[in-house]
Structure 1
Amino acid sequence: MNVFIAGFQHETNTFAPTLADWAAFQAGSGFPPYRRGPEIVEAYRGKAIPIGGFIVEAEARGWSLIASGWAGANPSAHVTRDAFERIAGDIDEDLRAALAGPGVDAVYLDLHGAAVAEHLDDPEGELLARVRALVGPQVPIVASLDLHANVTARMLALADALAAYRTYPHVDMKDTGALAATLLARRLERGAREPLAVRRLDFLLPLNAQSTMTAPADAVYDELLRLDATHGSVLSFAMGFPAADIAECGPVIWAHGEAAATAVDALFARVDQPRSQWRLDLKTPEAAVREALALAAGADQPVVIADTQDNPGAGGDSNTTGMLHALLAAGAGERFPGQVAIGLLADPEAAAQAHAAGEGAQIEVRLGRSVPTWGGRHSDAPVTARATVRRLADGQVTLKGPMGMGGEVRLGPSACLEVQGVLVGVCSRKTQMLDRELFRFLGIAPESMKLLINKSSVHFRADFAPIASHILVAKAAGPMAADPADLPWTRLPATMSLRP
């Protein structure tokens, strides 16, 4: 059997300041750079991304793979028209060639599900429509989706089956690709689509409430697995990406299988009530630092604070300074010299200045940016300070944590700067602080710190929770609203509640 495979990954924060252009997909940064053709199979086989799991499962079943393009870019504002049409155009060209040559018996797409383009509210739905138009109604199409997908009616109608991640942090990306292959095998064995049931929730879920390492999401996904075992269904609960101003933004539950409706209704009841279970405890930067310093005094492991509103995994550019200002104002570095670290701050100018000066040098530096957030607000002013260059690096990092195991990130010239006893990890290209190696490559040993500030919302928990004495979430000014009710929505249905 010939299976055509391709991928398009982008999570779009329509309120964020920076677009995802073609160069962003070519660079990849936190994702693999754009690849096309047979090399995808060799490059991604078994890797910790969905297509990696699909490839392994497909080959185990004896399927032949016809590879097109795989594109991923860091979360940001809209995907440009040019970038999307290049990616979709490559897939279209390769699919036409496959249909004219060896033939195509099925299609697998590695999608995110929460992309928005300059000219399309639902790029994944559009991509599925273009593929469906070429292969016709009988060829099965399956896709894997991110847990944060804003799943549209068009996506559900055009695909034979969809499977979403079941963990956040996403430590099951490879497993979800394998699950998509299982759904394809079920579809082929049945000879027709399995029954589908779908229910959409009418409230937005804050990103920080979605972590499956904490309540209530941990118990919800335990229930999902129990229901699948009981009913023989394949359930998915996409909690949605609550920063995309489109009509179909929000959480969706669906299932494939004979008892799909029963399974969906049961999971819906568990998620929908009580809604108070999804509410958050968010702290101001000042309050978070005060509490963290008090906790750190008696702790033998670091206190970790999530700088959630500048999360580069949700549309931030990893360059705001609210948490750094709070650390310096509280004298955190004087209290624990060299044992307080923040990272990573994307500031190519500061990194270049450090490299020009050399390790051990002292420089007058301007760190970070004041960036537009929403509603006419801006983030905090840059930090101007005298800094010591503690470590220089080229930014080539191999990840070792549960999410990115074996993955490579390319951050460009990078440096560890010490400012008033605080270690600031600076890089030239943004990436989310989700792996301890992103501190270590700059000479910062996270396990030895008293206080760590991570530019992340939830993904950091996979690698940092095992070493953290406490985890706090701070709401410093930034492009990714921790509370969806803060955003100036214009296109959500009137029936959609901005808070649980």
Structure 2
Amino acid sequence: MKFVVALIRHETNTFSPVSTQLTDFRRGTGGTGPAYGDAARKACEGTNSAAAAYLDLAREMGAEVDFSICANAVPSGLVTRAAFESLCDTVVRSASQGCDAVLLDLHGAMVVDGFPDAEGELLRRIRASTPAGLPIGVALDFHANFSAELIRHATAIAGYCTYPHIDIYETGVRVGRSIRALLEQRSQPVMLWRRLPMLTHMLRQTPSMQPMKDIMDRAMQAERDGEVCNASVFGGFPLADIACAGLSVVIVAERDQIEAGNRLLDELCDLAWARRADFVFPAEPVTQSVAYAKTLEQGPVILVDHGDNCGAGGTTDIMAVLEEVLRQGLEDVVAGPFCDPETVATLFAQGVDAEVTVDLGGKIDMPALGLIGQPLRLTGVVERLTDGEYTVTGPMFTGMRLSLGRTAVLRVGSVRIFISERPQEPNDTGVFTHAGIDPTQSKYVLLKSRQHFRAGFEPFARHIVLISGPGVCSSDYGLFPFQHLSRPIYPLDDDASLAHAQSWVHSAG
């Protein structure tokens, strides 16, 4: 028996000005571009990834593995056509050489120049190059956007049930369980899917809180109780100007469970739609949020600048929130990482203990939102210089070796500012501790994140203050010039209704 395994992940913010090249699909530290074959296996084995679960399944079943590619890029703008063709060709070539199943660890919200639904196109090509009926299992991010094409060509799909995403390995186990049952002729799966005409705000999506919590809890309970094989609720990625953006529900059921599967699908979708207004996040001015944080007496206080979060495609070089923190005089602050390779080079050239004046950030304009880069002039002392490498010890992507590129710490008064060559959402304290600085000992910790910070930072936070800074990850959807969404869609259109939902039923047989 032989499995083809592939990991390709990218969440595309179509409003980001930063295009995504093949070299951006890194595999942790060392070099640029994807890993292939044994290097891909080494990058994933023993980590919190669906691909690692596939490798464990293969060992249990005595299956040979062709690990074709490991390619993981930080969220950013459109993926170039050349990069996508290279990624696709690698997987299709492996699958076309013969196998018993293809097991994919994908994101589900990748947009390519020419292919709004990149994962759907990848599956279409795999299906076209392999024998009819070949099992294709797909693990997807909670923020996947669905078209009928993705459902049409997959055999079984499961999505993360958490946000921050700490159940990635378990999602691979769920996919593998369905594929194994099919291979052992114990299952005849059917997939039921519906996409609702609603864009949920990412700060209101997390299944750990309402309004999503009991929707996801109901799906997980149905799966545990055997009502269906798999039940997944996808919050969707709303910062993609494509026709298939929105909240979706996917049910994998046996043929004799279709009636129960449809009832569950209706129940979950009706509940989500009834709460659509609760999925809208109300923003407040940056000055007001920072002023409130200043009144909090006990730390650590986590300040979350979610409008410029690279985990959703932000550039992480917008300085507005840091500037306000400095203006209002907050003290004992650890902040970052801010991505600015030019400033990093300057600080490395000056060396530790040098007093320097730099223009930090503001290097990138965002024409889609009419934002012009505004650097922040700072004078401080170079406190640390590092290689930016660390191993994730927290619950998200546990065990993965990551790199910020070269990283410098600039101390401005009692504010320590981390500046890196590569963007990285701070979901693990390693972004700071690799430089010998413990964020748990600071009064304030300023992060560019949205929800993933909770994996590494929420456990020790006394307070969390969400700050609606500017950027291409803004929660104010009225700022975005959407042109390709399926309309009407809530909350942009008051006349959106369940009559505008899209559904699909697909049988693997």
Which TM-score band applies after superposition, normalised by the shorter structure?
over 0.9
**What code does the residue aligned with 1:463 have?**
G
Secondary structure of residue in 1 paired with 2:102: strand
Write the letter of the residue equivalent to 1:236: S
In the alignment, is residue 251 of structure 1 matched against residue 247 of structure 2?
Answer: yes
Alpha-carbon distance between aligned partners in 2 of 1:236 and 1:322, rounded to the nearest angstrom: 37
| TM-score, structure 1 as length reference | 0.93
Going from structure 1 to structure 2, the CA distance change for 1:459 and 1:13 (only over 3 Å counts) comes to: same
2:81 aligned partner? 81
Match of 2:174 among 162, 179, 184: 179
Question: Pick from 147, 150, 174: which aligns with 1:152?
Answer: 147
Secondary structure of the structure 1 residue equivalent to 2:312: coil
CA distance in 2 between partners of 1:233 and 1:376 (Å):
43
DSSP-derived class of the 2:464 partner: strand
2:133 maps to 138
1:442 lines up with 2:435 in the alignment: yes
SS at match of 1:66: strand
Per-residue deviation at 1:366?
0.8
1:458-469 mapped onto 2 (5 Å cutoff): 458-469=451-462
- The aligned runs of 1:136-285 (5 Å cut-off) are 136-190=131-185, 193-230=188-225, 231-257=227-253, 258=257, 259-285=260-286
Percent identity for Structure 1 against Structure 2: 32
1:375 deviates by: 4.6
Query: How much is the aligned-residue C-alpha RMSD, in angstroms?
Result: 2.0
- Unaligned runs of 5+ residues in structure 1 are none
SS in 2 for 1:156: helix
- C-alpha deviation, 1:93, in angstroms: 2.4
Whether the 8 Å contact between 1:29 and 1:74 is mirrored in structure 2 is no
In 2, the alpha carbon distance for the partners of 1:328 and 1:352 equals: 24
Deviates more, 1:192-201 or 1:425-434: 192-201
Report the secondary structure of 1:215's partner residue: coil
State how far apart, in whole Å, the 1-side matches of 2:147 and 2:32 are.
26
**Alignment partners' CA distance in 2, 1:26 and 1:402:** 21
Cα separation, 2, equivalents of 1:31 and 1:211: 34
Q: What SS does the aligned partner of 2:129 have?
A: helix
C-alpha distance in structure 2 between counterparts of 1:447 and 1:129, whole Å: 48
1:429 alignment partner in structure 2: 422
Following superposition, the deviation at residue 308 of structure 1 comes to 0.7
Question: What CA deviation, in whole Å up to 9, does each residue of 1:467-498 have, x standing for no partner?
Answer: 11111211111121223332110011222123
Measured in 2, the distance between the counterparts of 1:198 and 1:190 equals 24
In 1, distance between residues paired with 2:111 and 2:360?
31
Aligned equivalents of 1:57, 1:262: Cα separation in 2: 31
Residue by residue, what CA displacement relative to the aligned partner does 1:288-335 show, whole Å, maximum 9, x if unpaired?
11111111x2x1x31112111111111112111011111111011xxx
Alpha-carbon distance in structure 2 between the residues aligned to 1:88 and 1:197: 26
Q: Report matched runs for 1:409-424 at 5 Å.
A: 409-424=402-417
Cα gap change, 1:484 to 1:374, in 2 (>3 Å): farther
Q: 1:269, CA displacement in angstroms? A: 2.3
Deviation at residue 260 of structure 1 after TM alignment = 1.6
Partner of 1:316: 314
Conservation of the 8 A alpha-carbon contact between 2:189 and 2:252: yes
Deviation at 1:341, TM superposition (A): 1.6
Aligned-partner residue type, residue 133 of structure 2:
Q
**Cα 1:28–1:17 shift into 2, 3 Å:** farther
Q: Is the counterpart of residue 353 in structure 1 residue 346 in structure 2?
A: yes
SS of match in other structure, 2:25: helix
The answer to whether the Cα contact below 8 Å between 2:164 and 2:452 also exists between their aligned partners in 1 is yes
Looking at structure 2, the residues matched to 2 and 161 of structure 1 have their Cα atoms a distance apart, in angstroms, of 18
Is the Cα contact below 8 Å between 1:46 and 1:55 reproduced in 2? no
- The answer to whether the 8 Å contact 2:223/2:229 transfers is yes
Query: 1-side partners of 2:31 and 2:217: how far apart?
Result: 29
> Corresponding residue for 1:287?
288
How far apart in 2 are the matches of 1:87 and 1:203? 31
Q: Relative to 1, partners in 2 of residues 1:38 and 1:412: Cα closer, same or farther, differing over 3 Å? A: closer
Q: Report how many aligned residue pairs link the two structures.
A: 487
Aligned pair in 2 of structure 1 residues 110, 345: CA closer, same or farther (>3 Å)? same
Q: Secondary structure at the match of 2:204?
A: helix
The answer to whether the 8 Å contact 2:369/2:472 transfers is: no
| Partner Cα separation in structure 1 for residue 41 and residue 440 of structure 2 | 36
Give the deviation of 1:179 after TM superposition: 1.1
Counterpart check, 1:126 vs 2:121 = yes
Output the amino acid matched with 1:261.
N
Q: 1:305 to 1:171 in 2, by over 3 A?
A: same
CA distance in 2, matches of 1:228, 1:269: 18
- Alpha carbons 1:169, 1:212 under 8 Å: kept: no
CA contact 2:144–2:234 (8 Å) conserved in 1: yes
CA distance in 2 between counterparts of 1:28 and 1:409 reads 4
Say if 2:110 is the partner of 1:115: yes
Q: What is the CA–CA distance in structure 2 between the aligned matches of 1:200 and 1:404, rounded to whole Å?
A: 28
Deviation at 1:379, TM superposition (A): 5.3
Structure 1 counterpart of 2:490, from 470, 481, 497 = 497
Deviation string for 1:439-490 (max 9, x for gaps)? Answer: 1223331111111111111100011111111112111111212233321100
The offset of 1:30, in angstroms, is 12
Taking structure 1 as reference, are residues 32 and 214 closer, same or farther at Cα in structure 2, changes over 3 Å only?
farther
- For residues 225-254 of structure 1, give each alpha carbon's deviation from its aligned partner in whole angstroms, at most 9, with x where no partner exists: 122234133101111110111111111101
Tell me the SS of whatever aligns to 2:357: strand
Stretch moving more, 452-461 or 36-45? 36-45
User: Residue 223 of structure 1 aligns to which amino acid in structure 2?
Assistant: R
Alignment of 1:15-26 (within 5 A): 15-26=15-26
Distance 2:337 2:29 in 1: 13
Aligned residues of 2:339 and 2:361 also touching (Cα < 8 A): yes
Give the conservation status (yes or no) of the 8 Å contact 2:427–2:452: yes
Deviations 1:203-228 (A, max 9, x none): 10111111233322233221211222
Question: Partner amino acid for 2:166?
Answer: V
Gaps of 5+ in 2: 495-509
